[in-house]
Amino acid sequence: MLRFDKPRHCATTLRVLARLLSYPDAELRAHLPEMRDALAAEAALPAARLAELDLLIAGIARRDDLDAEADYVQLFDSGRSASLYLFEHVHGDSRERGPAMIDLAKTYEEAGLYLAEGDLPDYLPTALEYASTQPAREARAFLAEMAHILSVIFSGLERRGSRYASVLGALLDLAGEKARAVELPADEPLDEAWEEPAAFDGCSVKGQARPGQAQPVHFVRHATN
């Protein structure tokens, strides 16, 4: 397990990882070289993990636009284990998801961040954008709270042989956890029932709305008088 006596600054790394997990449209692909350079410059991750992320970035860059987008949708929308909606791994479609989504949105609002209409607070890139605005120690604690969910997504991606697993591995590194595969149930379509495991222990951000199509991150700061 990784430990940091004094948490290293990782805001830029978190923003890059959030973007790497987002829909690989033309705008994202145009900035891949800068994203790779930003990861290297901040050096918040081990060299071996940075090398894995370089391979992911190179792989996305090599793909035809339509192929990269189709692969992304197939990877993240075809089964629960790789879902990027955190509470999909907590309560699935249970009635508890609504209050929990509100709680998480309030957490963002307390930091002065507001979601655009239609965006869901538990979308992992959104959560990472929020974490990137927090002091290093708080950001890592936030990641540590969801480490077991990150491990599930990591394992789902590993099972598919996807280089995107390196992004989840990087998040676990930042959380001070070891990236390792966990046992997963047989994958099932996203519209089937999901057994509720305990998650976000000690945190009142539970629940999930069913994921739909690829969702961009749209945090906005309210103007102050």
Domain membership flag for residue 5: no
Number of domains comprising the chain: 1
**Token pair belonging to 113:** 């961040």
- pTM score: 0.79
Domain membership flag for residue 89: yes
Domain membership flag for residue 6: no
Residue numbers of the domain that contains 112: 11-182+192-219
Q: For 185-218, what is each residue's pLDDT tens digit?
A: 655 554 454 344 444 443 433 333 333 334 444 4
Domain membership flag for residue 224: no
Domain membership flag for residue 1: no
Contact in structure between 42 and 124 (CB atoms under 8 Å): no
Domain membership flag for residue 161: yes
**Token pair belonging to 203:** 């945190």
pLDDT at position 178 over 80: yes
Domain membership flag for residue 68: yes
Q: For 85-98, what is each residue's pLDDT tens digit?
A: 998 887 566 666 77
Better-scored residue on pLDDT, 186 or 166:
166
Better-scored residue on pLDDT, 133 or 199:
133
Domain membership flag for residue 127: yes
Q: Where are the beta strands (DSSP E) in 6-152?
A: 114-115
For residues 135-156, average pLDDT:
94
Average pLDDT, the chain: 81
Look up the CATH number of the domain holding residue 50.
1.10.3480
